[in-house]
Amino acid sequence: MPILYAQKLRLRASEREDIPLFLKWINDPEVAENLEHFTVMNRIQEEAWFERASSGPRAELPLVIEVQNPEGDEWIPIGNISFMDIHQFNRSAEIGIMIGEKQFWDKGFGTEAMHRMCQYGFEELNLHRIFLRVFEGNDRGKRAYQKVGFVYEGTMREARYHRSRYWDVDFMSIINSDWVQNT
C-alpha cells in the first residue's frame, strides 16, 4: 500500500514496531474513552490483534497517522485509522480512528486523516458507503466527522455499557455521491 499524503499529515502502513505505541494509546483511559475497548490490554493481546489485522485484507490494514516534525525531517506517529469489515458486494466499510497523542487533539489532524481516508476509500477502493459508530459524549468526534461530510443516520439507544451506565451509540455515514458533491 502506498503512503497516503495529506496537507499536514501522512498515513502509512502499520508495522510491528508500532505495537508499543498502539499499546500505550489504547491503555490510556482518556484516549480509550471513545473507543470500543473496555479493558487494559497487554503486549501479547496487542500482538495477536496486529497479526489478525496484518493477515486480513490489505485495505483493512491499520494505517499510522503521522505529522511532520517542524524541527526536522522525521515523521511523528500520533494515531491510527483503518477500514474494517469491507463488504465487497455492497461496497461499504466501517471506519475507525484514534488520535493517541493527546497534545495533537483539537488541531484538525483527526478531521484531515478522516478526509484523506475517505478520499482513498471512494477514489481508490471504489467504496459506495463509509460509516462509523460514535459514542454519546464524543462531541469532538461528531464535529470532526460532520466536517468531512458524515451525516447522522440513527441511534442505538443504550447500546454501550461504560462507567456503570448505558450510553447511546450514534451511526454516521457518508456515501460516494455526498463525497463527490462536497469535494
The tens digit of pLDDT for each residue in 143-173 reads 999 999 999 999 999 999 888 899 999 999 9
Contact 88, 98 (CB under 8 A): no
User: How many Å apart are CA 151 and CA 25, to the nearest integer?
Assistant: 28
Contact 107, 113 (CB under 8 A): no
Which residue in this structure is represented by grid cell 488541531?
Answer: 107
pLDDT of residue 181: 85
User: How many Å apart are CA 78 and CA 105, to the nearest integer?
Assistant: 9
- Using one digit for the tens of pLDDT, what is the confidence trace for 98-142? 999 999 999 999 999 999 999 999 999 999 999 999 999 999 999
- Using one digit for the tens of pLDDT, what is the confidence trace for 25-74? 999 999 988 887 667 888 998 899 899 988 889 999 999 999 998 888 89
Domain ranges in the chain are 4-182
Assigned fold of 4-182: Aminopeptidase (3.40.630)
* Run of H or E including 53: helix 43-55
Instruction: State the cell numbers at 172.
Output: 454516521
